[in-house]
Amino acid sequence: MKIPVSTLLGFSWFRLAVIGIPLCVTGIGLIFYLKPSSGSTIRGLSVLTATIQALGALAVVLFFVALREYLKYKESLVRIPRTTLDKNHLLNEARKIGENCFVDTAPNPEHVDEWLDNARQILEGCLMDLLDAHPVSSRDLPGILKATEEGFMALLESANRNREKTDFSLSNEEILALVPRVFKPIPDNQAIQNRLEEMRKTEQQATFG
């Protein structure tokens, strides 16, 4: 994918690198070419050496920062192909997210809040992957979350069947009672809402040309 130079020059770090790196290299070259008389003393030689090292380090830093900005911009241009699923397949994929969630299925009673945050973050990440892979509208989100919650509930229920409360684990009923607390904040997740808004705008553009 070719990116116009004019576009790259719009980034401040890239402009700075384009200007700064040649200046640093020129400065180093001039020092070697002119061989200032100050270099004949130990102190002067130390100053020149430090100057060369500083210019060299600055050029390297500018190069890698500009490279990072370039790669980030190039990555942002990549469009992940989305495959359209019918409602049943979409809900099935959502349920699998819950069923296969890589989370501790027996939370410690002393770390329930951490467990809730961890489980929520994992599920939100998986849901973002689902939104990246398949077109989803805001109307579909409640059904997707419900299917994911059902899958997550099934995972915990299967792992904790007949589990009784101990000093290191909650009972099966207490663990299942935590599930609504995991899912309640997810619909308000800003990243998920932004992704749904992006898809809504894309759908509008495709409809109205």
Tell me the residue range of the domain where 13 lies: 5-76
Q: Which residues contact 118 (CB under 8 A, 6 or more apart)?
A: 103, 104
CB–CB of 1/77 below 8 Å? yes
What integer pLDDT is reported at residue 92 of this predicted model? 95
CB–CB of 120/189 below 8 Å? no
- Pair (149, 191) in one structural domain: yes
Q: Which two tokens stand for residue 13?
A: 């770090």
pLDDT digits (tens, 9 = 90+) for 99-135: 999 998 888 888 999 999 999 999 999 999 998 888 8
**pLDDT classification of 144: cutoffs 50, 70, 90:** very high
- Pair (100, 203) in one structural domain: yes
What integer pLDDT is reported at residue 71 of this predicted model? 78
Domain boundary among 76, 108, 136: 76
Residue 22 lies in a domain: yes
Crossing angle, helix 172-183 and helix 141-159, to 10 degrees? 160
Domain boundary among 52, 76, 100: 76
- Pair (61, 123) in one structural domain: no
CB–CB of 69/11 below 8 Å? yes
Write down the mean pLDDT value for the chain: 82
Does 67 or 203 have the greater pLDDT score? 67
Q: Which residues contact 21 (CB under 8 A, 6 or more apart)?
A: 59, 62, 63
Q: Count other C-beta atoms under 10 Å from residue 58's C-beta.
A: 15
- Pair (50, 132) in one structural domain: no
CB–CB of 179/123 below 8 Å? no
- Pair (51, 92) in one structural domain: no
What integer pLDDT is reported at residue 13 of this predicted model? 67
Residue 82 lies in a domain: no
Tell me whether residue 168 is exposed, middle or buried, using C-beta atoms within 10 angstroms of its C-beta: 0 to 12, 13 to 18, 19 or more.
Answer: exposed
CB–CB of 101/64 below 8 Å? no
What integer pLDDT is reported at residue 180 of this predicted model? 95
Residue 101 CA to residue 104 CA, distance in Å, equals 9
Of 198, 208, 193, nearest in space to 76 by CA: 198
- Pair (96, 175) in one structural domain: yes
Does 28 or 122 have the greater pLDDT score? 122
- Pair (203, 102) in one structural domain: yes
Does 58 or 75 have the greater pLDDT score? 58
Q: What is the pLDDT averaged over residues 35-63?
A: 74
What integer pLDDT is reported at residue 206 of this predicted model? 55
Domain boundary among 76, 96, 121: 76
Domains: count for the chain: 2
For 86, half-sphere exposure in the C-beta direction (CA atoms, 13 angstrom radius) is 1
Q: What is the pLDDT averaged over residues 60-70?
A: 83
**pLDDT classification of 167: cutoffs 50, 70, 90:** low
